[in-house]
Each structure stands twice: as C-alpha cells, then as structure tokens.
Structure 1
Amino acid sequence: MSIEKFESIYERAALRKGGTAQLELLLNKPLPRSELAKIPDDRWLAAFTEKVFQCGISWNVVRKKWPNFEEVFFQFRIQPLLMQPDEVWEEKAQDPRIIRHLTKVKTIPANAMMIYSAGLQHDSFGNMVANWPSEDITGLWAYLKKHGQRLGGNTGAYALRQMGVDTFILSSDVESYLRNYGIIDGGRDTKRVHLAANQAFNQWKEESGRSLSEISQVIAYSCGDNRVLVSASEQ
C-alpha cells in the first residue's frame, strides 16, 4: 500500500502551526529506554489508574483530586495494595476524597497484579516496557488490555505516552487521518486496524528518523481542529 510521505505531512503541519520552529516546540519526545527501565512500579500503576479514572470525565477533575488518590492508595505501592482484602476496596471506593467509582477502583489491585507478575519475569515492569520493540508497540497495547483491566482502547496508550514511552495514539485526529487516507478501516480497537496503523507508523519512522510519538503528534497537527486546550501528549 502506498502512503503519504512523512515530509508532506510535516510540511502541512508546519504550515498550520506557524512554521517549523513553532511546530517543533509543540512536539514531546519519548524518554530513552534506559530511563524508562528505571521508573518504579508504583508510578506505572499510578499512571494507569489516572487514565482509567479520566475515561468519561474531565481530565482536569481527576488531576485536581490526584493527591488524594495517592494518599488513599498508599502512593500506589504494589505490595501493600496486593495485601488488601476485598472488602477494603469497597470501602475505599466510597471515600469522598476521591472519585467514587467501585468498578474503576477495583482495577487498581488487578493492574497491580499485572505489574507485579511482569516484574517477576522481567525484573521490573519498567524493564519490560523499555525492552518492548517499538515496531510492535500495538503488541504492548494488547498486553495491557489482556493482562490488565480497563486498559483497552486508547487508555493504555495514553498512559504509556504520559510515562514517556515511544508510542503513537489513535486520537480522533490521527484516526481520522488514517481513515481518510485508506490506511485503516473497521473498528478502531481491532487487531487488524492496530497492525495496519503500526505498519504505517513504522514506515514513517524509517523515512524520518523520528519517534512514533513525534510522528503521531505531527499527523494530529496536520489535520483536525487542534484545540489550544489539547496538549501535545494527548495527540
């Protein structure tokens, strides 16, 4: 399949954003793999939990309450959380300091177990993520969906991006671009769509020498509304 050259996408994004210099200022770059590997397990769990709670409500509402989440859930330390009996989670879900949502609260021990189990195999969850091949980044999305809870769709990908992982995101702008250019069709969260998108991003990465994260943001800035309130990390 023939896809648009990344150079053309970049030029269009730069034109829309006031030039190359302005566009470059908007682009967030991923962390080096060596730094990803050092991120402690509790920070991964915190990131996943934050994104789970942000689904369906204002992200800023969750951010304002986030210090309370850290307090209520032991700073997301894996071992203390895994030691809690089932009834404790129902009590915590009623705590007025956080956003009260039992189903989402119950993702915390489930995702803590995913992180703990990965650590047994890979020394740490961060080490597993750091060594995951970027050419199969949607495979990491699938891992989070299969082994975690409520990390499917864009939730897991947004959390990974927030943590500095080199990943593209099927945001509304990126998804619209891929559909308009015939790169994907069908359900956004299907394996076939993920594979087709991943292949296209791999081609653009080889062409440009840029990260998946940068490419994803450039595509988003080349089309769509790009509202001022939408940060680069959300593209």
Structure 2
Amino acid sequence: MENTRCAWVGKDQIYIDYHDNEWGKPVYDDKILFEFLVLESFQAGLSWITILKKRENFRKAFANFDVEKIANFTEDDVEKLVLDEGIIRHRGKINAAINNAKLFIELQKEHESFSNFIWKYVNHQPIVNNWNSIKEVPATTEISDQIAKDLKKIGFKFFGSTTIYAHMQATGMVNDHTKDCFCK
C-alpha cells in the first residue's frame, strides 16, 4: 500500500523525496535556512520542481551555500553565474543572492543566528495547520506579509509574501501537510 501524500506532490521522484524528507520539517540550522532563501528567491516566477531539479547545480555554483563566500562574490563571479546553464541565469536574482547573503550575515550578528530572527515570527514553534485539501492552503498569511515587509525594509530582494510563505513551508515554520498525508 502506497502512502498518501499532499496533492501537489505528483509522481516525480524528486518531488516525492523533497515532500517526504524536507517539506514542513522544522529547520533551525542557518546554513540550511540560507540555502532555502537562495533557492526560494530564484524560484520566484518559476515552478519549485524546476529549482529542485537544479538544486545540485545551485549548490556547486553558490559555494555550497556558504553565506560568507557568497557575500564576497565579485562582478566576475556574477558573470560566471550568468553563463552557468545549470542554474537560473537571472542577473537580478544572482545579484539579489549576493545582497541577501550580506544582509543575512548582519541578521546573524544582530540576533545571534538567522534562525533566531526568522523563527521569532512564529514564537519559535511551527504552526501546524489542519487542511482537508491543498485548495485550502493559502499562498500568503499575515505572518508572511510581515516577514516580507520587514525583510524588504532591511534591503532583501526577491522576497515577497508568497515567496516567504513558501520558505516558511519549506523550513517547517508552518506545517501545511493535508490531513490525509502520511507526513502529517
């Protein structure tokens, strides 16, 4: 008997693995939180499966998501990334990743970790929703609106409320597995 999963998963093994092993599981590790921030910012306007299929290429192109290294990327690095067919070659998003890395480091210093900063929005506890169907799952919430507003004020790029809510789902700040999902 096969496990019942959230309706968005489909049959693609990369989606199945992501859903079963990562999506909705709380992440407090700054390195992983940063990885998801980079990936989510590149996802804006694209499907998540596109990003997942390029994840290893992103990992190589973006120094294994080492925030310090990315914060120090130069214009030469940007030019190499724009030519890298393994990633999304969007100059604005590449520059945003570098900008956001610098701001991420500032938030780490100010709050002892980025995890402390981001998780405070949910009182350091995952929000566990009880959706009957994927149709009930929102694209944004008041909390994602606030985080997006605060990050924009700090200077983060490519982080609207929808992207932030996706980040919250990916890192387990919210658990949006539907009631029938075995991961619930």
**Which interval holds the TM-score relative to the shorter structure?**
0.5 to 0.7
In the alignment, the residues of structure 1 paired with residue 170 and residue 95 of structure 2 have an alpha-carbon distance, to the nearest angstrom, of: 22
Gapped runs of 5+ residues in structure 1? 1-21, 167-212, 222-230
What is the deviation of 1:132? 2.8
For residues 151 and 113 of structure 1, do their structure 2 counterparts lie closer, same or farther at Cα, with a shift above 3 Å needed? same
Partner of 2:13: none
What is the deviation of 1:48? 1.7
The reply on whether 1:90 has 2:98 as its aligned counterpart is no
Secondary structure of the residue aligned to 1:149 is coil
CA contact (8 A) 1:51 1:155 kept: yes
What is the deviation of 1:59? 2.1
Partner of 2:29: 39
What is the deviation of 1:84? 1.9
Partner of 2:153: 146
Alignment partner of 1:164 out of 163, 166, 172? 172
CA contact (8 A) 2:72 2:98 kept: no
> Which one-letter code corresponds to 2:29 in the other structure?
I
In the alignment, the residues of structure 2 paired with residue 102 and residue 51 of structure 1 have an alpha-carbon distance, to the nearest angstrom, of: 15
In the alignment, the residues of structure 2 paired with residue 30 and residue 95 of structure 1 have an alpha-carbon distance, to the nearest angstrom, of: 30
Gapped runs of 5+ residues in structure 2? 7-18, 128-141
What is the deviation of 1:153? 3.3
What do residues 37-56 of structure 1 show as CA deviations (whole Å, max 9, x unaligned)?
Answer: x412x322221221222222
In the alignment, the residues of structure 2 paired with residue 124 and residue 76 of structure 1 have an alpha-carbon distance, to the nearest angstrom, of: 16
What do residues 41-92 of structure 1 show as CA deviations (whole Å, max 9, x unaligned)?
Answer: x322221221222222232122111101001101111111112222321221
> Which one-letter code corresponds to 1:39 in the other structure?
D
1:1-235 maps to which residues of 2 (within 5 A)?
A: 26=6, 36=27, 38-40=28-30, 42-133=31-122, 137=143, 138-147=145-154, 148-166=156-174, 213-214=175-176
In the alignment, the residues of structure 1 paired with residue 146 and residue 166 of structure 2 have an alpha-carbon distance, to the nearest angstrom, of: 15
Compute the TM-score of the two structures, normalised by the length of structure 2: 0.66
**Higher relative contact order structure (alpha carbons within 8 Å, sequence separation ≥ 6):** 2
In the alignment, the residues of structure 1 paired with residue 24 and residue 54 of structure 2 have an alpha-carbon distance, to the nearest angstrom, of: 26
What is the deviation of 1:144? 2.4
Partner of 1:191: none
Compute the TM-score of the two structures, normalised by the length of structure 1: 0.53
- Decide which structure has greater helix share: 1
Secondary structure of the residue aligned to 1:131 is helix
In the alignment, the residues of structure 2 paired with residue 58 and residue 155 of structure 1 have an alpha-carbon distance, to the nearest angstrom, of: 12
> Which one-letter code corresponds to 1:60 in the other structure?
I
Structure 1 or 2, whichever has the larger Rg, is: 1
> Which one-letter code corresponds to 2:153 in the other structure?
K
For residues 61 and 30 of structure 1, do their structure 2 counterparts lie closer, same or farther at Cα, with a shift above 3 Å needed? closer
CA contact (8 A) 1:69 1:98 kept: yes
> Which one-letter code corresponds to 2:167 in the other structure?
A
Cα root mean square deviation, aligned? 3.1
Q: In the comparison of the two structures, how many residue pairs are matched?
A: 146
